[in-house]
Amino acid sequence: MDVISVLTISVLMIIIVLVPGIALSMAIFPRRDELDMVERVGISFVLGLTPQFVLYFADKNSIMPINEYTNLLMIILITIIGIAVWNLRRENE
């Protein structure tokens, strides 16, 4: 593997984990002053693993297989849910 491939895979993995994590952290902590940037990135990394956990338990408790389509669907679904909850909480404040 060359350097470009390694960098591309690394950046894509970070994006795949951080995008749903940031959406969920914004849903939990909707105001910008509640967390500083380092705390938000740390929490986002941990919360970014949520789609994989949900997909794992959906596979064990139902007939949903784990493949690239269900993984992408779960990431998009959890990101949309996080953004929707953040938007609702922001409007109610």
- pLDDT score at 42: 92
C-alpha–C-alpha distance, residues 45 and 64, integer Å? 25
Assigned token pair, 14: 């970070």
pLDDT band at 64 (very low <50, low <70, confident <90, very high): confident
pLDDT over threshold 90, residue 20? yes
Do 47 and 27 form a contact (C-beta atoms < 8 A)? no
Which residues fall within 8 angstroms of residue 85, CB to CB, at 6 or more apart?
27
What's the whole-model pTM score? 0.83
- pLDDT score at 92: 86
- pLDDT score at 7: 93
